[in-house]
Structure 1
Amino acid sequence: MTPSLEIVPVFDATRLGYVQTRIPALVRTDAGTLLAFCEARRAPGDWSEIDIVARRSTDEGRTWGDLLMVARSEGPGNPASNACPIIGANGSIHFIHHHTYKRIIHRVSRDDGRTWSEPRDITAAAASFRTEYNWQVFAPGPGHGIRLRNGRLLVPVWMCIPGGPSVPGGDHRPSCVGTLYSDDDGANWQRGDIIFRTEGDFINPNESTLAQLPDGRVMINTRSESVCHRRLVATSPDGATRWTAPAFDDALFDPVCMASLLATRDPATGRDVLLFCNPDSRYDPREYDAVRSCARENGIIRLSPDGGRTWPVARVIDAGPFSYSDLAASPDGTIFCLYESGLWGEHAYHHNTHIALARFSLRWIQDGPPASLAQFRAVTALAG
């Protein structure tokens, strides 16, 4: 187990021949291998020529193997993006992504992530939302999906009916959120209910992350552009239906950025804990664009001992640039955070060139300060 914080570089766009590396996703396989994924972009922008690549680590993230091509772009304006890996049954690893925000693709690896099956189109599951919401843009994740204790595979998804040039960021807005699920280890996929819509105080909910709580409920934690800058949450008994009413979690700041949620067990106590990671820039008053995005810096890991009701403990992973991230854990209590760590240019969070892995232990988090706002300010100042 890693007792303290270590940071290891994983993807470097400048060495790979790409302009950007963005949108990390991370899982730890049943064999103990870490699989790190990212989008390798040949130009800036979500609609550019984008491949999905991966690297494997068999020594808990200390070293990484050669670059693997998982999904290729179909050319400029036709990206392969939004990696969503899921650990399945009997050593299988499922991989969901989209092509051009219109086709949803499923692949499987049965050799610990070394190779991947031919793409299988599962857009029919996404298309079934159209009877209720006639989306034109659809994307999974990004970040890992989950396998419930009953075997259900679960993927968060967001979709939108583009608002056009009169709407800031109108190619992705306005939006709503739901899930896709499979009850036969990926053979067939179905849609769940729409969970969050753009209505009232809930503005453009989109990229989401999932975790199964100790009592079996599924929690969804979602980015939005709501004026309160807090994460949207809801729970469901099965991850697909009967979601609770949307609510903001006052403890979880949202700078308008993807985040990661992870349920794991503390080996020292045998108790389940919930982890949450994102950039917490609540002390930076800058807003960068028409959707009020805040600075993507000061990456924080938080721990909840009670299924997300409270978040009493937190630590700074990286006080510098920190944008999208994804979490995984090993049984010995080592936590892994794959995150966008290298930025350049004005509004730099759009121009990430490096992705790193932070390794630390649950004890390292638990030894951190109480998660009060004043102490966050002090910790951030010391880290900077």
Structure 2
Amino acid sequence: MLFKGNHVEGLNGITYHTFRIPAVVRTNAGTLLTFAEGRAKSNKDYGNINVMYKRGSNNGQTTGDWSTLMQAASIGDDTIGNPTPVVDRQTGTIWLFMSWNSANMSQSGGANPDTGLPTTRITQWGQRRVYVLRSDDDGITFKGMDGSSNPTDMTATLTPKTRADGSAWAWDAVGPGAGLYTSDGVVIIPAQFRNIYSKDHGKTWQVQKLPESAGEATVTELDDGSLYRNDRANSTTWSAAERRWVSRGSIDGGFSAYKPDDQLLDPENEASVLFYNNAEPDAPTRTIFLNSASTVARTKMRFRISYDNANTWLMSRPLSDFTLPSGSGTEGGYSSMVKTADNNIGAMVETNLDISNNDVSARGILWHKLNLGWILHGCAC
């Protein structure tokens, strides 16, 4: 168990009820940085939520290779989450984008789990905001753009004020999961209805709008240099196909309309995609995908491999083939993947520690280390 919920693990006077929303990157030094939301008193998406992280050495091989719990961002008792990190491969800077709202607000209303007081539903632009931190010391510390420990508010630049239908751009989310550094040096953060990007190593940031049919986003660069967005559809769109929704394109040329991938069943949940390698004389190009391969449950986690730039997925294997240690709960939910320096695959996956699916149910995050051979011993299904 990498992040232990149920009030086992904590920092700064808080032992966290739940850890959710994983994200992982590998730094230029080979260090693994794993991020998660630390939810103070419940598994709800609002209330006192902070962005926590751990640093991993030795490619995350054993439990002893991980640091103790560290804090990347906290703003009082407010909600700051959706960690979306990315590494600039030229400069080595680690960028960490996050989404924020105040403690008395939430996406759909409901009682604040920390205070019991009612929250107000987010309905206006600016009630949900984009924050960013950076690290220039391999993830030992994170700072705002002004050099302080406070994250920098980038909402005015990076969140459009209106949606395509003219309504307010109220609810918003970056990622969650890992961002992308492209082969031509562009830093990309996938976000709701848009890509956030920088072509000058974070000196300036811009927005590329996308079709508004999907929300939580993952992005990778394929062997042919094109960009591949594989997103969680919004509820109305999802119900039409119950699949992952895909768009392809580029920062300069734009993206295609989203279409469902018939092969990728989805229970209206987050997923993760990892471009593993370019085509070589002795090896095909490989793209790896991980999600819950079900239309009804988040517990059917499955790895898939594509050899043709994510057009077809020929090989797969269920994550349930891993034997989990006692106390690991019921695995399934959000995930994040990384290629480790020893050419293996590291995967963070949520787990339900209490089996039940209510406010009392604590959550944690597991770490898996596997190789391509493990997936290939699955099936052509």
TM-score by length of 2: 0.80
> 1:296 matched to which residue of 2?
298
Contact 1:340 1:352 in 2 (8 A): no
The reply on whether 1:124 has 2:137 as its aligned counterpart is no
> 1:365 matched to which residue of 2?
375
> 1:329 matched to which residue of 2?
339
Q: Is the deviation greater in 116-125 or in 217-226? A: 116-125
Matched AA of 2:175:
G
| C-alpha separation in 2, matches of 1:36 and 1:255 | 25
> 1:171 matched to which residue of 2?
none
Shift of 1:130: 2.7
CA distance 1:130–1:56, shift in 2 (3 Å): same
> 1:253 matched to which residue of 2?
265
Contact 2:160 2:169 in 1 (8 A): no
Q: Is the deviation greater in 129-138 or in 51-60? A: 129-138
Q: What secondary structure is seen at the aligned counterpart in 2 of 1:15?
A: coil
| C-alpha separation in 2, matches of 1:131 and 1:265 | 36
String of CA shifts for 1:236-271, please: whole Å, max 9, x gaps.
122x65211211100101111100011111789444
Residue of 157, 171, 174 corresponding to 2:191: 157
Residue of 109, 112, 129 corresponding to 2:135: 109
Q: What secondary structure is seen at the aligned counterpart in 1 of 2:375?
A: helix
Percent of pairs identical after alignment?
29
| C-alpha separation in 2, matches of 1:36 and 1:94 | 13
> 2:317 matched to which residue of 1?
315
> 1:84 matched to which residue of 2?
84
| C-alpha separation in 2, matches of 1:185 and 1:67 | 29
Shift of 1:73: 3.6
| C-alpha separation in 2, matches of 1:241 and 1:31 | 33
What runs of 5+ residues in structure 1 fail to find an aligned partner? Answer: 1-8, 159-176, 198-204, 283-293, 372-384
Q: What secondary structure is seen at the aligned counterpart in 2 of 1:124?
A: helix
> 2:4 matched to which residue of 1?
12
| C-alpha separation in 1, matches of 2:21 and 2:152 | 22
Shift of 1:317: 1.5
Shift of 1:103: 1.9
Contact 1:24 1:37 in 2 (8 A): yes
Residue of 26, 29, 42 corresponding to 1:28: 26
Contact 1:152 1:185 in 2 (8 A): yes
Contact 1:182 1:189 in 2 (8 A): yes
Matched AA of 2:25:
V
CA distance 1:331–1:32, shift in 2 (3 Å): closer
CA distance 1:127–1:196, shift in 2 (3 Å): closer
Q: What secondary structure is seen at the aligned counterpart in 1 of 2:285?
A: strand
> 1:143 matched to which residue of 2?
177
Shift of 1:352: 4.6
CA distance 1:253–1:42, shift in 2 (3 Å): same
Matched AA of 1:195:
P
> 2:350 matched to which residue of 1?
340
> 1:237 matched to which residue of 2?
250
Shift of 1:29: 1.1
> 1:188 matched to which residue of 2?
204
Q: Is the deviation greater in 32-41 or in 11-20? A: 11-20
Contact 1:21 1:39 in 2 (8 A): yes
What runs of 5+ residues in structure 2 fail to find an aligned partner? Answer: 10-14, 102-126, 145-150, 322-329
CA distance 1:335–1:269, shift in 2 (3 Å): farther
| C-alpha separation in 2, matches of 1:297 and 1:54 | 24
The reply on whether 1:354 has 2:364 as its aligned counterpart is yes
Contact 1:296 1:349 in 2 (8 A): no
Matched AA of 2:59:
E
| C-alpha separation in 1, matches of 2:155 and 2:282 | 43
Q: What secondary structure is seen at the aligned counterpart in 2 of 1:137?
A: coil
Contact 2:21 2:350 in 1 (8 A): yes
| C-alpha separation in 2, matches of 1:121 and 1:279 | 33
Contact 1:305 1:311 in 2 (8 A): yes
Shift of 1:36: 0.6
Q: What secondary structure is seen at the aligned counterpart in 1 of 2:59?
A: coil
Matched AA of 2:217:
S
Contact 1:327 1:336 in 2 (8 A): yes
Contact 2:91 2:201 in 1 (8 A): no
Number of positions where the alignment pairs a residue of Structure 1 with one of Structure 2: 324
Shift of 1:195: 2.5
TM-score by length of 1: 0.79
CA distance 1:56–1:234, shift in 2 (3 Å): same
| C-alpha separation in 2, matches of 1:187 and 1:122 | 12
Q: What secondary structure is seen at the aligned counterpart in 2 of 1:322?
A: strand
Shift of 1:341: 1.9
> 2:230 matched to which residue of 1?
221
Shift of 1:152: 0.9
> 1:97 matched to which residue of 2?
98
| C-alpha separation in 1, matches of 2:317 and 2:358 | 24
| C-alpha separation in 2, matches of 1:335 and 1:348 | 32
Contact 1:219 1:236 in 2 (8 A): yes
String of CA shifts for 1:9-63, please: whole Å, max 9, x gaps.
2100231211111100011111111111000001331121101100011111122
Aligned-pair RMSD on alpha carbons? 2.1
